Each structure stands twice: as C-alpha cells, then as structure tokens.
Structure 1
Amino acid sequence: MRAKLIPLVAALAVSPAMASEVVGYYPGWKHESFPVASVDASRLTMALYAFVDLCWDGKHGNPEPSVNYVAACQEPLNGALAWRDEAADGANLRALVALKKQHPQFKVVISVGGWDWSNRFSNVAASAPARANFIASSLKTVRKYGLDGVDLDWEYPGEAGVPCVAGEVCARPEDRQNFITWVRELRAAFDAAGKQDGKHYTITIAAGANGNYVGDGAWVKELARSLDWINIMAYDYHMPWEKNTGHHSALYADPKDPVTANGFYASRSVQRYLGAGVAADKLVLGVPFYGYGWKGCAAGPDGDGQYQACAGGVSDGINGGNSYGYAQLQGKGKRYWNAAASAPYLYNAENGVWITYEDPQSLKEKVRYIKQQKLRGAMFWELSADDSEHHLLRTLWDGMK
C-alpha cells in the first residue's frame, strides 16, 4: 500500500510527549457501584470512557438478539455518536474532566465501540457522509465536555466479533482500508481543531493481539501514521469456554502450553506490531485487571490444575459470570507462579476451581518488558476491577515512573 506524506505539523502533533502512559478504561455503566470519585487520577495519564456507540438508521445498539439494547439516537445521523444514557454519561464525563484540575497529567477520552457496539463501524467507515458525521459529532462532544480526544475500539475490522442478524452488514473485505481513510480524515479534522483550540486532540485505537488482526502488517503501519498510539489488547488468549485451563495474559511463551505455537502471549503480540514497522513509541501494552475461572479442573501431575481438563467456566465471578475482579480473588485458592510465562494462577484442590489473573508481580514483569522494548506505556481494562487500595494501578504507576 502506498505510503502517504504527513504534513509536518501533524507529524509533530502525534510524536510522543512521554514514554510512560498509564491508561485505564472507566466503565460508564458501572458509575453507581464505581463512581468517578473512586478514580485515582493521580496515577493515570488517561481515562478512556467506555463506551459510546454509533448511530445508524436512527438507532444504536448492537443488531444482534443476545445483546438486548437498541434505542433511538440522540443525534439521528448515520455515524453520529449515540449515548447509552446521555444524562448519566454527561455527568460522568464532567466529573472525570474536573479531576484534571488537580492532576495536570490526566486526560479524558471517549472510547467508541467495544465488543457489543462495534457492529456499525463497517457501515460508517465505508460511507464518506457517515465518516463526516462521526467527525463532526465527535468534535462537538470533545469541545462540549472539555475532552482530550477519541479512542476507536473496533472489534474487528473485516471480522465482526459479535455476528449480525440476517440482512445486516457488520464486516467488509475493505474494512481495513476504510479504517485507514476514516482515521486519516479524523486526524486532519482534529489537528485543525487543535490549532483553533490551542491543544492537541489524541486519537487512539484498541487493537487485536493475534496474527489475524495484524495480517501482513502493512495496514496497521499505515493506520498508525494518523494515531497517537495503539492500545494492544494483550489478554483473553485463553477463555473459560475452552476445555482446558490456560493463562489469559501470559507475557512469554510456556512450552507446556498447547497453543504456544499460535503465539498467544503478550510479547509475541508486541513483536507482531514492531515487525510490521509500527514504532515502539506508538505501542501501548494492554493488561487485564480481571481474571477468568474454570471449575471441576483436574489437579494434573503437578497438583496445580495448570493446562488440565475442566467441567467449564465458573459462575460465581463478576455479575454471576466467569470473570473476577482482582479484589474478588482473596481466598479463592493457592497461588502459583509460572516462571516461563511470567503469570500467576490460583488453584483450589478441594473444589477444582482454577483462575488465571494478573497481580503485582506479573505487572512488574510487564512494566520491565515495556521499558526494555521502549513502548509508549500500559493500558488496562478496567478501573473498577482493581481492589480498594488500587494495588494493580499503583504497581503500574510506580513502575512507569
């Protein structure tokens, strides 16, 4: 694909101001149980407000039956932003922005899309008028609330994570090229607005960690030209619907892991982007503040349940699901450490529950890797999953300092 020349002012605008970003998602729908007052902005460089949707045909919400949310758009233009709860989201954003007064390093950005709300991205990216509507709507919102930019969480270009209902289009072969065009147009508009407003507006994306997403790498290299950085979602390498246990955010390969050959570990994901020609200072390593659990897991030859067959995912985690926040892990089992993968895990031999998660020791290893590779920093999902003492966030911040 032909390289594009970037005006000098744009190139300067997206050059890194620092190499120690600590970026955390704030889940807006949890504002009652985790209010903005719980956010430790002194240890963050950016909060990504999750999530804002895109309007299409006057509606927003995923056109898929299992995601039971479809509502009218506040601004019924194809590509315009659409809010889950405009009053609550607006209040949350104002409260987050207010934290910037005491913490000048802290920025607030809206994250558009996410797993449930990516199904309209392909439509918007393929339409010049819809892209223009998105840009106008985003810029209006950024200025209205005093925000610092936009994060695009498209899961995924060319391959919709959540399938559409019959008759809908959620993915196209040309999604990647359309994404490049969309972000290039957004960058031009944000840079022009930034000149008027006397500030730099950031554009970031949440990106897949596996080889299918990166492909031959040419498209992500081109996309990165218009981005401040890429947040690599380096987690969910193993999931509880699998029959055997496995580490969902291992840093390095463990030869004992049956899928190691597939490159399902964080350092390999980073190397994919570096190998594609994306600059290290445009890469932010994503880490999870949550864990996954399996039940009915065999102890195995080492008595620790690692890589063993199970009866399925647990059902006593967050909201009755199979994920756990860090604070929920106390007393769940005996802690083990996989030195090859740089990953902790828990196993309860009495009930056969096995949990993969992140803890301060594994985060210190990831911070060390970020510094070794000269990456831009760390991102995590998500703020409410940490414990009340912010042990995980403190580990990241102290390490990055």
Structure 2
Amino acid sequence: MRTRSISCGLAAALALPAGAMEVVGYYPGWKHEAFPVTAANVDASRLTMVLYAFADVCWDGKHGNPEPSVNFSAPCQEPLNGALAFRDEAFDAANLRALVALKKGHPKFKVVLSVGGWDWSNRFSNVASSREARANFVASSMKVLRRYGLDGLDIDWEYPGEAGVPCVAGEICARPEDRQNFITLVRELRTALDAAGKQDRKRYSITIAAGGNANYVGDGAWIKELSQSLDWINIMAYDYHMPWEKNSGHHSALFADPKDPVVANGFYASASVERYLRAGVDKDKLVLGVPFYGYGFKGCAPGANGDGEYQSCNGGTSTGINGGNSYGFGLLQKHGMLTPAHEGGNGYRRYWNSAARAPYLYNAAEQVWITYEDPASLKEKARYIRQQGLRGAMFWELSGDGGNQMLRTLSQALR
C-alpha cells in the first residue's frame, strides 16, 4: 500500500476520471502581441491545463536576472523578498484574465501561473533558504491566485543546487541545501493552498517543471519527498542534445538508440521516466514533457548513410526563431522545410529513427540537420504514456504549434 501525505478525500480530488489524462501546455506571456490569447490559439477543449509563463520572485526590491546575457532587471510591484513579480503587470494581468475567461464552457480547463523558468530561477535559492522570504512567497502567491481566479502554481526552478544561468559576481543563486529547502518551500505552500482551498471551495494545484537527467534526480530520495506535496511533476524530457555539441543528436528521443554515441548517459525520455519511478515517485504524479519545437545543426557531414545523423557539425543554425537555432513545428512548415503532409521540402528530406521513435530532417546540399517533434513521434509518446500509466503530457509551448496540429494529435492520442 502506498503512503501519501494527503487525506483520502484530497487524494480523490486529485484523481482524474477513468481514461482521462492531463494535456498541459505553456503559454508564453511575452509573445502576447504576436500570439494573443484567443480560443483558436489556446484550445481549452483539448487542454486540461495551461501554464502561464512566467512570473518571477522579488529580491532586494528587484526582479529579473541581472546576468548580462539575460539583461533584464526591474523594480518589483511588491518589494518584499520572495514576493511574486511580473515582467509587465498590465499585460500579464490582461493575459491571465483572458485565459481564465476561456474556462467558460470548459469547466475542466485550469489556468495556472508558472514561476521562474530558465532566465528567472536565479533567486529561488535565496527565497527557499529564508523563512521570511518563503512566507512572503506563499502569501504573495495566494494573493495573486485569488486576484485573478487562477487554479494553482507551477514552479520552474532551473535548477536546485545548480543554477542554469550562472550567478553574477557577488551573488548566490545555488546552495548545497537547495533540494531540502525546496521541499520545505513546497510543503509550506501546500499547507497554505489547502487551507485557502477549503475557504474558496476549490482545489489549488502545485506542479513543478523538473529536469530529466541523472544530475537533477540524484539519489531520488529528495524528489520522492518533494512529490508528496505536489499534484504532479512535469518532466522536461527534451533538450537531451543541443546544437552547441560536436555531433548531431535527437533532442527528445523516446527510447535509446544504440547508434547514439552517448546513449549510455540515458539522454532519452523513457530513461528519464525510469529515474523517477526508481526514486519511488508514483506513476500518477508523472507527466511527460514533449517539445513543440526542434533544433538546427549546421555544417553536418552526410555520413555513411547520407542523412547527417550523429555526425560532426559546426554549431547551430541561424535561420530559426529570432535568428537562432530553434524551430517551432509551425515554423518548419511556414518555411517549407516540412510539407502539409509532414514530409521534407525545400531541399530537406525527412527521416525516421525507429529505435529512438524520432523524426529528423537533413538538407544534404546545405548540410543542415534538424531534430524536432512531429505528430508521428507524439503518437509514440502518447502510447508510451498510456502503457506506463503516467498522468499525461506537458508541452512547451503553444505558439510553436502550427494551427493546433500538434495539440490536436496529442489530445486525441491520449483519449
């Protein structure tokens, strides 16, 4: 018999109807002008939850990451250490209210505020290590959830014990005790949200975005303890290979491919899930993250098979989103790299890795290799989620889809 830190009644409140699964998608708030909150862009009939990205936490009266590569720092709306802070409260408030309005006619659709992310995780270590700042975080979170009629909080701390974006000189953004402090922070948040939920006659959820590699999970004991205060964990099962690496590789393979030179590192989605299961996290508290985007590698030799896979490359391309190496599924189609039938176009040929269950594109003339997710690979992951008895799927992010093709595929495959 599995032990839980919640009552039987609360456990029942967490349960989904038989056969139902979570379909969770991030909405990027900073893209609201090009990708506004509309019923077409945010399909509440197919999503069970939207995560609004991102809010930040205040420290020393400012929010944002002062690191030069991120280059954003602004005064907090509520200048208390640990209080939530918005990039621009006016447009964030408008976006949140628009998302909540989509709940009309879709009572099972939830709107949750996500805090942190890659750029704004640099103050979590300070907040979690301070009793006063934790209390401010909890109080501020509760105030924001009630103000906008939200359904919970998602914490994207990247990462406890090892900050993704390095600290600036003189600052602390990672501590050896981060994991234990994270447990304390979430436990205190759980207590407060449960108490508020009784008053408000609703269930406030707490989820996290979590790393898929062995460094994040560690020995597993801490993540199992943390999970007891969470509704579920969204595993970021992508970015296993990145364009700055020396060789091309799949960034979101489902299974191991023996041909991958670093397969022993377990850089694929099913290995990430197994790490959490071995740690003792319940299957119904695991949501598999999938990407609605891909990465481009340049200068990739064709290799013996002529497809550029696992070959030496010269870094990332510069024809993707904002002149970078990232390509949303919709952008691949817009640029003609993918046809409406999801085959290669404009000099690109589509390939399928049957071991990894992953598609890829290669342009032999330009020596460009692209790893990405498509409807075929999404169906494979949906099948895996069902077979493993996981809670569902999460994806990054809505604006990367092409006319809801990916969301429609994912939603249908999980039903």
Q: State the TM bucket, normalised to the shorter chain.
A: over 0.9
Match of 1:368 in 2: 383
**How is 1:1-400 mapped onto 2 (pairs within 5 angstroms)?**
5-8=5-8, 10-16=10-16, 19-37=20-38, 38-330=41-333, 331-332=336-337, 333-388=348-403, 390-400=404-414
Quick check: 2:296–2:368 contact (8 Å CA) kept in 1?
Answer: yes
Once the 2 structures are TM-superposed, how far is the Cα of residue 5 of structure 1 from its aligned partner?
A: 4.9
Amino acid at match of 1:27: P
Query: 1: CA distance between counterparts of 2:115 and 2:134?
Result: 13
Give the TM-score of the pair, scaled to structure 1. Answer: 0.97
Once the 2 structures are TM-superposed, how far is the Cα of residue 42 of structure 1 from its aligned partner?
A: 1.2
C-alpha distance 5-314 of structure 1, shift in aligned 2 (>3 A): closer
Quick check: 1:63–1:119 contact (8 Å CA) kept in 2?
Answer: no
Unaligned stretches of 5+ residues in structure 1: none
RMSD: 1.3
Tell me the percent identity: 76
Query: 1: CA distance between counterparts of 2:109 and 2:378?
Result: 21
Once the 2 structures are TM-superposed, how far is the Cα of residue 295 of structure 1 from its aligned partner?
A: 1.0
C-alpha distance 282-392 of structure 1, shift in aligned 2 (>3 A): same
Quick check: 2:290–2:396 contact (8 Å CA) kept in 1?
Answer: yes
Query: 2: CA distance between counterparts of 1:106 and 1:9?
Result: 21
Deviations 1:12-66 (A, max 9, x none): 5545556500000000000000000121111100000000000000000013121
Once the 2 structures are TM-superposed, how far is the Cα of residue 103 of structure 1 from its aligned partner?
A: 1.4
Q: The residue matched to 2:260 in structure 1 has which SS?
A: coil
Query: 2: CA distance between counterparts of 1:400 and 1:12?
Result: 21
Aligned length: 398
Quick check: 1:16–1:228 contact (8 Å CA) kept in 2?
Answer: no
Quick check: 1:15–1:228 contact (8 Å CA) kept in 2?
Answer: no
Amino acid at match of 1:178: N
Unaligned stretches of 5+ residues in structure 2: 338-347
Once the 2 structures are TM-superposed, how far is the Cα of residue 311 of structure 1 from its aligned partner?
A: 1.7
Q: The residue matched to 1:243 in structure 2 has which SS?
A: coil
Amino acid at match of 2:72: Y
Amino acid at match of 1:224: S
Q: The residue matched to 1:103 in structure 2 has which SS?
A: coil
C-alpha distance 10-124 of structure 1, shift in aligned 2 (>3 A): farther
Query: 2: CA distance between counterparts of 1:9 and 1:196?
Result: 16
Q: The residue matched to 1:36 in structure 2 has which SS?
A: coil
Once the 2 structures are TM-superposed, how far is the Cα of residue 166 of structure 1 from its aligned partner?
A: 0.9
Once the 2 structures are TM-superposed, how far is the Cα of residue 6 of structure 1 from its aligned partner?
A: 4.3
Deviations 1:239-289 (A, max 9, x none): 000111000000000000011000000000000001110000000000000
Moved over 6 A (4+): none
Q: The residue matched to 2:256 in structure 1 has which SS?
A: coil
